[in-house]
Amino acid sequence: MKKQTRFLCAMQGVLCSIAFSFSWAEAKIQFDPPQDIQLEDTAKDIIFSRDGSTAFILGKKNILIYSVPEAKVTDSIPLTKAYSQLALSPDESAVYLTAQDSPQVAVIQFAFINTIEVGKSPVIGNAKAPVTVAAFLDYQCPYCAKAYPLLQEVLKKYPNDVKLVIKHYPLAMHKFADKAARAALAAAMQNKYENVNELFFSNFTKLNDATIREYVEDSGADMQKFDKDIESAEVKDLMQQDLQAGKEAKVRGVPAIFINGIAPKGRSIEVFSQIVDGELKKKK
């Protein structure tokens, strides 16, 4: 009984202490005056993408796509019925719509089309091909090494219609990925880019300072010119442009592959071919 009494007294002391400290604490909040966003439709509901950069605003006639960084509506999805709420799928490839007192849920599949400029990046395949496969890759990434033969298969299937542009996106966790990327770009100045790509990806577990140089030499490159080019401002600029392109395309990891700006929902020759065929039909 004495122990229980002491425990209760102790708890009362703790509670009194907490209450005392809260009584002296002043809650403060800083805020800006509300800023109105002018829309062409009446907003009923709003959800955000995982990174917070895009808002999906449900209106009476449309789902408005609002870019937070740009502070403007960039696109819209037209609606044929009235809905009251919307939700975004975990992979951000579909929106789910519900209406009050309705037993149905509408699902709209969608895909963002990213603008990824070829710029001065080396091109593998027909440079004038209407379909561009842009792949953000890391030479020491095992998943990138696995994806590269699939990209080659796409080029083989569409020799005149598809070109491959690799955007170098070395991850900090891979010690030699940055140097390998710069080496490949330096080799491109001697038209050895495709050869070096194959050597790097087929030997991705062996890449280090010595083997990177060895594989470039095996491609038939002039090593004296290579040593100058790998440290050149041009190569550094190309690397920076690739990283910036990845940032703009919201690349979260590698491999990140886009076909005319569309990210495939799977990695197989069937999935890639479906998108390529669709893009070719648009061109016709």
Q: Is the pLDDT of residue 14 over 90?
A: no
What's the pLDDT at 24? 46
- For residue 25, what pLDDT band results from cuts at 50, 70 and 90? low
DSSP 31-100: -PPP-----SS---EEEE-TTSSEEEEE-SSEEEEEETTTTEEEEEEE-SS--SEEEE-TTSSEEEEE-T
Distance CA 124, CA 115 (A): 19
Adjacent-strand bridge partners of 165: 123, 134
- For residue 152, what pLDDT band results from cuts at 50, 70 and 90? very high
Q: Is the pLDDT of residue 49 over 80?
A: yes
Distance CA 92, CA 111 (A): 8
Q: Is the pLDDT of residue 5 over 70?
A: no
Q: Is the pLDDT of residue 18 over 80?
A: no
Under 8 Å between Cβ of 260 and 279: yes
Distance CA 170, CA 194 (A): 18
The fraction of the chain above a pLDDT of 90, given in percent, is 79
Distance CA 254, CA 257 (A): 8
Distance CA 165, CA 116 (A): 10
What's the pLDDT at 28? 85
- For residue 65, what pLDDT band results from cuts at 50, 70 and 90? very high
Q: Which of 72-76, 87-91, 134-138 has the highest mean pLDDT?
A: 134-138
What's the pLDDT at 26? 66
What's the pLDDT at 29? 87
Under 8 Å between Cβ of 63 and 79: yes
**Nearest-5° Cα angle at 92, 90 to 97:** 85
Which tokens go with 174?
């891979």
Which tokens go with 80?
């044929």
Does the domain made of 45-109 have the CATH classification 2.60.40? no
Which tokens go with 202?
């087929």
How is residue 136 annotated by DSSP? E
pLDDT in tens, 248-272: 998 989 999 999 999 998 999 999 9
Domain 123-283 class, CATH top level: alpha beta
Q: Is the pLDDT of residue 52 over 70?
A: yes
For residue 95, give every residue at least 6 positions away whose Cβ sits within 8 Å of its Cβ, in sequence order, or none: 56, 63, 77, 86, 87, 88, 89, 107, 108, 110
Rg (CA), the chain: 27
What's the pLDDT at 78? 96
The domain limits of the chain are 45-109, 123-283
Query: What mean pLDDT is predicted for residues 183-193?
Result: 98
Count the neighbouring beta carbons within 10 Å of the beta carbon of residue 185.
26
